[in-house]
Amino acid sequence: MSGIDNLPPLRDVISRHDLTTKKSLGQNFLLDLNLTMKVARAAGDLTNSTIVEIGPGPGGLTRALLASNASKVIAIERDHRFAGALAEISDAYPGRLEIIQADALDIDYTSLSSFGRSNAPTKIVANLPYNIATPLLINWLSSEPWPPWYQSMTLMFQKEVAQRICANQASKAYGRLAIIAGWRCHLDIAFDVAPAAFVPPPKVMSSVVSLVPKSAILPCELKKLEMITKAAFGQRRKMLRASLRNLGGETLLKNANIDGRLRAEAIGLEDFVNLANLI
């Protein structure tokens, strides 16, 4: 028994099912159930919620989510080798764990959330495979309509990516990701996790980020916001009048009341939205 449930310790599960890790699938497991409980707690009260988890692997976080009273966990795992270990968890929590064997990048999440009980809040909680973490996040941040199908996202990233998501204006990490994420969500770095917490340990520090969709966002087309931030930060050392030349340059900046000699990192979300709405 492991302390949070009647299932065996994860190390036993891994050796019994012969689950070696694959680097190509970003497999770095959390085997400390106190830590997976901490990640689950960062997602708030899970009672009556449906959780979408990406990459359950041997199921450490999955078990913490179920032990935290989530009414249902929908876990999407690409690697079929985990099916046996996950079936044991499903047996321990009858009817509450659904495994979808698929690539998380291919899932239609809006149809998925209707699997949950009607009006049950849906939350995304995951220790993400780091090789696809950013495209997954961009996909969820691009959901239409807004507010989206999920109530919150609680996600483990490499610390460097977490810092780019939560970056403040003028900081080195400030760029496209911070603008798109900050436009749509309230952002917070919940806590850092050292490499030694994972098996095998990754090369870098990790952080859990909490993203809660804003109920009202500044009106703007995502495509245009992406276009303007891509141009502005693609040449972030240049003045905006140069980096935005192809999108309207000086005229565009004048119409938006922005000094064309500034660099991208010097202007805030509202200015980017304003620029996007003028192109």
Binding positions for ligand SAH, rule: CB under 6 A: 25-30, 54-57, 60-61, 76-79, 103-105, 127, 129, 132
- Least Å from the CB of residue 27 to ligand SAH: 5
Angle at 212 between CA 187 and CA 106, to 5 degrees: 105
- Least Å from the CB of residue 82 to ligand SAH: 6
Q: Is 157 or 183 the residue whose CB approaches ligand SAH more closely?
A: 157
Q: Is 102 or 170 the residue whose CB approaches ligand SAH more closely?
A: 102
DSSP symbols for 140-198: HHT-SSSS-S-SEEEEEEEHHHHHHHSPPTTSTT-SHHHHHHHHHEEEEEEEEE-GGGE
Residue number of the CB closest to ligand SAH reads: 55
- Least Å from the CB of residue 22 to ligand SAH: 7
Q: Is 60 or 116 the residue whose CB approaches ligand SAH more closely?
A: 60
Q: Is 21 or 48 the residue whose CB approaches ligand SAH more closely?
A: 21
CB-hemisphere CA count at 13 Å for 122? Answer: 20
For 213, the token pair is: 């969709």
- Least Å from the CB of residue 232 to ligand SAH: 30
- 125's enclosing H/E stretch is strand 122-127
At position 244, the amino acid (one-letter code) is L
